[in-house]
Structure formats: C-alpha cells, structure tokens
Amino acid sequence: MGAYIVISVLIFIVCILLVLVVLVQNSKGGGLASNFSSSNQFMGVRKTADFLEKTTWTLAIALLLLCMASIFVIPRSSTKSSVNSELQDQMNSKPIDYQPAPKK
C-alpha cells in the first residue's frame, strides 16, 4: 500500500511539472525563450527551447514509466476472489440441462 501512495504522489508531481513546462512554451516559438533576446546571453533562445523540449520529453517518459509501474503496485481487493468463488459455486450447484436442437 505504501508503494502505491508513493508512485501516485510522484505521478501527480510529474503531471504538475509537465503542465508548467508546456505552459511556459509558446507554440509560435516565443514563450520563455523570447525573454532572452540578447545574443550574448549564456543560454540563448535556441538553447532555452532545446532545454524546454528535452524537459517535456523527459517528463512525458517519466510519466509513462510511473504509470506502467503503478500497475504492479495497485492494491488488490479480496472482492474479486469472492466473486470468482461465488460464480464457481453457482456453476457447480446447478446442473446444466442440455436439450438437443430441433431438427429441420
């Protein structure tokens, strides 16, 4: 149960970060990169856009991997086994009455 909560919190954090990184970007090439208009900046326009793109891909892959990892730590309930046993009891208790199909 503890691993499920940890992975759920990590998924939530990655989702928030991914939303923030995507909102910082501008579809027309502006966004955060447009604030660095001076050519003598250490991180120029192109490097900022590359950084944001790599961050987006990294967060998207991390989200995918965390979602796939969550499959293995989801707590299983006991209701599934009781449903299976109830169905098994119904199948065993009632005899099946087979009737031949009418001939044409």
Computed on alpha carbons and rounded to an integer, the radius of gyration of the chain in Å comes to 28
Say what the pLDDT of residue 29 is: 55
Tens of pLDDT along the chain (104 residues) come to 688 899 999 999 999 999 999 998 876 655 555 555 554 455 555 677 788 889 999 999 999 999 999 999 887 765 555 556 777 777 777 666 777 788 87
Show Cβ contacts of residue 52 under 8 Å, excluding neighbours closer than 6 positions.
21, 24, 25, 31, 32, 33
pLDDT number for residue 40: 45
Q: Return the pLDDT at 63.
A: 96
Say if residues 45 and 34 touch (Cβ distance below 8 Å): yes
